Every structure is written in structure tokens, then in C-alpha cells.
Amino acid sequence: MPGNRFGNVFNVTTFGESHGVALGAVIDGVPPGFRIDKEKIQKALDRRRPGQSHLSSPRKEGDQIQILSGLNTDSVTLGTPVTLMVLNHDSRPRDYQDILEVFRPSHADYTTYKKFGIKQTSGGGRASARETLARVAAGAFAEQILSQVWPDFSVVAWVDSIHDLDASSKTPEKMTRDKVDKSIIRCPDPRVSRQAELLIAKVKSQGDSLGGSIYCYIQGVPEGLGDPVFDKLEADLAKAMMSIPATKAFAIGSGFAGGRMLGSEHNDCFLAKNKQVTTLTNHSGGVQGGISNGEPIYFRVGFKPPATIFKEQKTVNALGKNVSFKPKSGRHDPCVLPRAVPIVEAMSILVIMEHYLRQKILINQVQELNAKLRQKKARKAKKDIS
């Protein structure tokens, strides 16, 4: 209940402050028997790590993943809790000493203080984007399980827009992470990528920041995942996305634009082909009545510009006085979008993983039952004969 846990069956608890000893995640509910490649987790962390390009925070963190529990000596899951940990190296609590005096505009300083009655000694504490490394690690862990279960499973996200630059993505089903990573903006539209690079550099030099949106496309998820009432698949995806720092909006399938369509335009007609049911269109975004229908799941997530800017701003200090504030130092991204791409992917995977495991309770329920009834009948028949 206390808010640092995600998922009820695949149960991820993240821990660690931005400028503490370590950050990580404990995952309870990992199914046994899956071989895990630590390097794949490292690769995901590397995509989220600061200092990847001249456009992101220069904080130097190797972010080397350690697995403290849950695997046997062959790297196979035991069904016990998995602990993923990264030690902090380049934490500089002193950078934040001036912050202790003021509540930075649109940061979590003020609300966190009001909630907990205690000021974090440094940085953003748990509200810092640094916490998301634990999510990325947990997501990369879960992805390896789902990829073994569903060979066609894939989750690919990319930057869809930066400020007023909108990318076009005509064939999302062909997108791969490699293609996305060819752009340091993680935007696969070459024109927009180039323009965005220039724009970010310019805005950075002005001490300002930029927002935008990320598009996520999920393939290879079977029918039946999600619940019909509160835990609809899209509801859990929305929560997952809106729990990422700096997000302000979520839209699945047709999104807000769907409200401008007629029912006869919006309905996704079913089509049976080769004993498989598909839909002619996919305005639903792969989810109907809260449950996956086997079509690709896609959605967009809106990010506001980061709150940390290097401009003079009016604010209030801890004594309740109006003051002017301009951060002296600190290592921040003028635009978080490129580094947020693996976070969006990771959170998507955690939602899918949770509902995959939940659905295992139902799958074959009736079949299993029928099998038992057949056995019973067979036993009876045998008795009657003897």
C-alpha cells in the first residue's frame, strides 16, 4: 500500500534515493525456470543512463547491475525474490544544499515536504528520475521471461514529438530498438531527429527545457490479458505511464481523436482468416472492454518540459518567504524524452507481465476441470466393470 510497489502478482518494489548508497528493485513473484541474461538488463540500463550524449545530464554513473538473489548458479530463476541493485557513485548531495532552502517551482520539493514533514537532504529523493533505473532493470528482467513465453513479443517505444516537431511513423510494426537508437533523440523520423537535436542544443544554451511525447507499440501479446472492471489493461497502462516523472497525458488507440469519430467509423470489425480472428482496423489499440484482443497495443504518452531550468524564477523558501531562485549547479537534461524511451518500454512490460501471470490462473481452468471430470468418469466406469 505505501506506494513503492508495482504489481500484485509480479510484485516490483523499488528502493533507493537519488543521492543515497544504492538503488534497486526486489521482485517477488518471479516464475521459476527461466534463464536470465544479465547483459540484457545492463543494455537496458545503458539506454537510460545519463551522459549518453552531449544533450543529456553529465552525471557519471556506470549503473552496473548486480543481481543479489533469485537465480541459481546457472542464472535460472528459482521462483524466489529477485533483487536487482545499482550502487550510486557520482552522487553530489552538496550540489543541492541551496535547494534545501527553497522550494523549486514545479518540482516535488514542496509537496514532498508537505507530505512527509521532512526535507530530503539532497536531490529529488524518491521523486528523482534516478529512481526509474530500478524500473528499467525490472522491466528488462521481465522482458526476458515474456520473450521466452511468446516468441513474437516485442515492445518498442520512440520519441513521437519534441516541442512543436511532430514525427511521422507510418509502419510502427516494423520499428525496432536498433532503428530507434540510430537517432540520439530516439526519434526514427530523420528530419525531425535532426531538427530536434538543434532545438535541444539551442534551448539548453538558453538554460531552458523542452517537452514532447513518446509512442509505444507492443506486438505479440495474446488475447485475454486484462480485467473487465478496474484493472483494465489500458487502465493499468495509463497508471504505469502516468507514474513516470514529468508525464501529463496518456492516449491509447484512437485517443482523444477517437471522440471525433462516429461509432460506425470507430468500430473495429472482426475478420476470421486462417482460423485466426483479427480486426480490419485497430482504433481500439489492441484492448476491448479492458482485455487484450490479440492486435497490436499502442499508445502515446505526453511529457512536460523538465522543471529544472537555469533561469531566475520566483518561488518560496522554507520559511515561507517569497524569494528569487536560480540553480547554481546540477546535472540535468534539457529534454528527458530520449532517456524516457526505455522507461516507457519497461513500465509497459511490467503491466503485461502482471496480467500474463494473472491470466495463468484462468487459462485452462475449464480444460483442467473437464480433464478431471473425464478421469472421474473413467474411474467410475472401471469400478462398474469390476
How many angstroms from the chain centroid is the CA of residue 11? Answer: 15
Decide: helix, strand or coil at residue 166: strand
Backbone angles phi, psi at 172, to 5 degrees: -60, -25
Residue 168 within binding range of its own copies, rule CB under 8 A: no
The dihedral through the CA atoms of 11, 16, 21, 22 has a sign that is positive
User: Could you write out the DSSP letters of every residue in 121-165?
Assistant: SSTTGGGSGGGHHHHHHHHHHHHHHHHHH-TT-EEEEEEEEETTE
Contact (Cβ atoms closer than 8 angstroms) between residue 333 and residue 207: no
| Contact residue for its own copies among 91, 293, 297, 338 (CB under 8 A) | 293
Q: In the complex with its own copies, which residue's Cβ is closer, 46 or 110?
A: 110
How many angstroms from the chain centroid is the CA of residue 120? Answer: 25
| Contact residue for its own copies among 289, 326, 374, 381 (CB under 8 A) | 289
Taken as a whole, the chain contains a residue count of 386
Binding mask 320-339 for its own copies (x = CB under 8 A): xxx-----------------
Q: In the complex with its own copies, which residue's Cβ is closer, 183 or 292?
A: 292
Closest CA to 36 of 145, 179, 132, 156: 145
Contact (Cβ atoms closer than 8 angstroms) between residue 352 and residue 221: yes
| Contact residue for its own copies among 182, 248, 296, 353 (CB under 8 A) | 248
Residue 253 within binding range of its own copies, rule CB under 8 A: yes
CB of 59 to its own copies, least distance (A): 18
Q: In the complex with its own copies, which residue's Cβ is closer, 151 or 178?
A: 151
CB of 315 to its own copies, least distance (A): 5
Exposed, middle or buried: residue 275 (CB in 10 Å: 0-12, 13-18, 19+)? exposed
> Which amino acid would we find at residue 222?
P
Residue 186 within binding range of its own copies, rule CB under 8 A: no
Considering only residues 112 to 141 of the shown chain, the ones binding its own copies according to CB under 8 A are 112, 114-118, 120-121, 124-127, 131
Contact (Cβ atoms closer than 8 angstroms) between residue 87 and residue 21: yes
| Contact residue for its own copies among 220, 224, 296, 330 (CB under 8 A) | 224
CB of 157 to its own copies, least distance (A): 15
Q: Which stretch binds its own copies (CB under 8 A): 51-59, 174-182, 185-193, 306-314?
A: 306-314
Decide: helix, strand or coil at residue 321: coil
Residue 256 DSSP label: G
Q: How many CB atoms lie within 10 A of CB 361?
A: 9
Binding mask 188-207 for its own copies (x = CB under 8 A): ---------------x----
| Contact residue for its own copies among 92, 194, 231, 296 (CB under 8 A) | 231
Beta bridge partners of 219: 154
CB of 1 to its own copies, least distance (A): 4
CA–CA distance, 149 with 113 (Å, rounded to integer): 44
Q: Which stretch binds its own copies (CB under 8 A): 42-50, 178-186, 187-195, 282-290?
A: 282-290
Contact (Cβ atoms closer than 8 angstroms) between residue 334 and residue 55: yes
Binding mask 338-377 for its own copies (x = CB under 8 A): -------------------xxxxxx--xxxxx--xx-xx-
Q: In the complex with its own copies, which residue's Cβ is closer, 39 or 368?
A: 368
Spatial neighbors of 191 by CB under 8 A, at least 6 apart, are none
Beta bridge partners of 227: none
| Contact residue for its own copies among 170, 269, 383, 386 (CB under 8 A) | 269
Contact (Cβ atoms closer than 8 angstroms) between residue 299 and residue 253: yes
| Contact residue for its own copies among 99, 292, 338, 343 (CB under 8 A) | 292
Residue 306 within binding range of its own copies, rule CB under 8 A: yes
Size of the site for its own copies (CB under 8 A): 171
Backbone angles phi, psi at 72, to 5 degrees: -85, -175
Residue 29 within binding range of its own copies, rule CB under 8 A: yes
Q: In the complex with its own copies, which residue's Cβ is closer, 164 or 178?
A: 164
| Contact residue for its own copies among 98, 283, 296, 331 (CB under 8 A) | 283
Considering only residues 32 to 71 of the shown chain, the ones binding its own copies according to CB under 8 A are 32-34, 66-70
Q: Which stretch binds its own copies (CB under 8 A): 51-59, 157-165, 179-187, 338-346?
A: 157-165
